[in-house]
Chain A
């Protein structure tokens, strides 16, 4: 019988060897794949054993995201809290137990959980794990100006609107506001109450960031891009004269000035120069300029400002969309079939984000140089050491300094005696441009205002859009003015 027993013993031992191999498979080979699964409840809990880094506003002490400590099942867990609630959810985002994340909470998850590959962080967290100490994430310091941001939120409240403010010389995003907004503290437990939120538009979509994802026809605010092309190519100067008959003929058809509700009837200005044309936003003149230039150069100059590519920012890539001409919901990179006349005053299927328009204003303010927009200023380790600090980054020149100063003067005229007088700030030179864009719904217009101040030494550039806001100079300009004032007063 011993032969059989020996063989059976081999079978018995082989069974256990199979178990060792099976365990090795799951713990060594497949373990990363298991950890990545969305329903992995252990990983869901594991993220709470790490004390996530805090997120601060630009003043360095207003806490946008912090943790609450709780003991659960013998473990110390850290749950996310957003003390400022609705202040800046579209920058900060949220991080929930079911592992859904948004905003910087998503894109900077590695830094916030101490899982980034920077040598000092790896050293510190490994040491903490070995000592059995709670692993702490790194703290994020954003560029958001809490006072101006709060003011912007208040001004946009109840409307469907967005506002962006950028420091032109550095690209720092000071305000990124979208309305209706949501409270990230509610995402976890009462998501339904967020979805129920209402505003002046339908659907209200409170989770939707209108500032970086909202696509709007720019209307006349795009005229600064057309003007950039007209001046920078040397084809026109601010004093070039035009005759405005009140309409423009394109392909044998009349395109009248009455497109804009800011003009009572098809107004005709007669003989005007370029500055006056921008000042009063005369479509017929821009139509002529567009036809003289052709669609190509206008699209080229828009690309120099960043159109047709996703604007750079530290938020997750899929939370931003590019601006440009859209065809059937997709970006149309060719300009061959574009109507240059309508393109010149910002219609012609052009769709832009408020963020992109703020970048245009900031570039003109920065003597034509586009700075990389940035919302994360620096990252500090829990011990206070600097892991990373943003330095202003030059993305390239959109227009010559000469063009920029000419355009600035023209935009100043808009505010001093044109369509944008509502943006005047006593004692400060403001440069701006209104926009009133057609929407698919008749007699509903999206109001735009882009501006920067002080015009002689710009410290802030803004873009504001108000859905169904009527005339841009009336509804959007005062909001832009208040935001700029708040920032100029604060700095």
Chain B
């Protein structure tokens, strides 16, 4: 079977799964299977078949599993979002359409040779910083949950950090490919531009209070530096730097201190000061309310889950239990309804995506492609870890989207661009020698 036929076959399987998912939500909600549930699945399948046609035309040699995996993850997300807020699912569907269009545009524009991007690396780096700074600019940005991440232009809202991540990876790949020999020798002046751009990014992140992203960028930076130079010392040095920076942030930024406290002690036996109301309260009823309620949601899933559409996300008076459930906290909804079996399956799908991504990096012929593929893949893995790990109390919780699954336009668009990048690199790596 050719690579693209394999992709199509996988997509059809994903389409069937999506149909089943929507149908089960429908049955759970209104005890009937409706044609509306099937229309969602058919629309979804049609969209992915269209994306598949584009890959067939532009990147016929690309990895056949990435697009179906992305399809499966968006399907899981869309089904869950539909189950939580049907109106949001419609909007998410629209964003997926836009994302697929951009995916196609990226593939068509860059199909001949994406490596030209390398010459625009500084532009990419500056764009990344500009995008990251946007929310901090007065008049544009809005603060949500203590972090300035959003840009509002009229009715549109956008989280530019997601695209900035890809831009930064492009810059790092280009720059590190060029300077990797000298960097490996440890010449300080060659670190200059790298540190300047990096320091700028970090500053912006501190300014916007978004720690999840800071950790993400730092991790990507260290990982790519390690691939380029093979120097473990750099990673160790970076790790120490990060620890020092974290300690400083803990001391100086109350928002960071609060996050760490919530992480270490989400439950209190006695009432403590609650900064939200200014009165004493149990911490589980105050700052760690969201984390604790989300853990209850996960715990309620047990092994088999409550079943799609049968989870509990509202109080008896109809109030939503977990804030940001369909964006940052969608994993706790999935974990409750699908249980350990389903949640672990979703995580295994992420593993598969990551394994395929690194395989592409291994197969790629040139340094830029290797660095870019590894950077994109590691960024994807780290982002998944930061949000799900935060929800599972493995690390302090920071608000960041779960790739492909969370509700949110910028996230979906950015991840499809990431997918396009990996497919382009994969196509080139698998091309028969001319």
> Which residues of the other chain, A, contact B28 by a CB distance below 8 angstroms?
74, 132
**B381 with A15: CB separation less than 8 A:** yes
**B222 → A minimal CB distance (Å):** 10
Docked Cα-Cα span, A24 to B394, in Å, equals 12
The residue in chain B whose Cβ has the minimal distance to the Cβ of A17 is B351
CB 8 Å contact bits of B298-312 with A (1 = contact, 0 = none): 111111000101101
**B226 with A46: CB separation less than 8 A:** no
> Which residues of the other chain, A, contact B310 by a CB distance below 8 angstroms?
132
B178 within 8 A of A: no
Q: Chain B interface: which of A30-38, A146-154, A269-277, A400-408?
A: A30-38
Within 8 A of B (CB), among A19-54: 19-20, 22-28, 30-31, 34-35, 37, 39-46, 48-49
B398 within 8 A of A: no
A77 within 8 A of B: yes
A441 within 8 A of B: no
**A28 with B315: CB separation less than 8 A:** no
CB 8 Å contact bits of B359-398 with A (1 = contact, 0 = none): 0011000010011001001100110110011001110000
The residue in chain A whose Cβ has the minimal distance to the Cβ of B223 is A8
Partner pick for B385 among A6, A19, A26, A75, CB 8 A cutoff:
A19
Secondary structure class of chain A's binding surface, majority of residues: helix
**B300 with A46: CB separation less than 8 A:** yes
Partner pick for B316 among A6, A8, A11, A77, CB 8 A cutoff:
A77
**B339 with A72: CB separation less than 8 A:** no
Docked Cα-Cα span, A15 to B223, in Å, equals 14
A201 within 8 A of B: no
> Which residues of the other chain, B, contact A43 by a CB distance below 8 angstroms?
296, 300
Task: For chain B, give the interface size range.
Answer: 35 or more
Docked Cα-Cα span, A11 to B313, in Å, equals 34
Partner pick for A27 among B226, B298, B350, CB 8 A cutoff:
B298
**B330 → A minimal CB distance (Å):** 14
**A5 with B361: CB separation less than 8 A:** yes
Docked Cα-Cα span, A27 to B310, in Å, equals 17
B247 within 8 A of A: no
Q: Chain A interface: which of B54-62, B157-165, B340-348, B407-415?
A: B340-348
> Which residues of the other chain, A, contact B361 by a CB distance below 8 angstroms?
5, 9
The residue in chain B whose Cβ has the minimal distance to the Cβ of A97 is B316
A326 within 8 A of B: no
A3 within 8 A of B: yes
B129 within 8 A of A: no
**A31 with B347: CB separation less than 8 A:** no
Docked Cα-Cα span, A200 to B331, in Å, equals 57
Known A12-B377, A74-B309; contact A4-B227, beta-carbon cutoff 8 A: yes
> Which residues of the other chain, A, contact B318 by a CB distance below 8 angstroms?
72-73
Docked Cα-Cα span, A97 to B319, in Å, equals 14
> Which residues of the other chain, A, contact B106 by a CB distance below 8 angstroms?
none
Docked Cα-Cα span, A484 to B314, in Å, equals 50
Known A19-B384, A19-B389, A22-B394; contact A30-B313, beta-carbon cutoff 8 A: no
B358 within 8 A of A: yes
**Closest 10 CB pairs between A and B?**
A34-B299, A9-B358, A22-B392, A12-B381, A73-B314, A15-B385, A31-B299, A27-B340, A4-B227, A16-B351
A-B contact pairs, 14 of them (CB 8 A): A5-B227, A18-B385, A19-B385, A19-B394, A26-B392, A37-B296, A42-B293, A42-B300, A44-B315, A46-B300, A74-B29, A75-B312, A79-B316, A97-B316
Which residues of B pack against A, CB within 8 Å? Answer: 28-29, 223, 226-228, 230, 267, 282, 284-285, 292-293, 295-303, 307, 309-310, 312-318, 321, 335-336, 339-340, 343-344, 347-348, 350-351, 354-355, 358, 361-362, 367, 370-371, 374, 377-378, 381-382, 384-385, 388-389, 392-394
Which residues of A pack against B, CB within 8 Å? Answer: 1-6, 8-9, 11-13, 15-20, 22-28, 30-31, 34-35, 37, 39-46, 48-49, 72-75, 77, 79, 97, 132
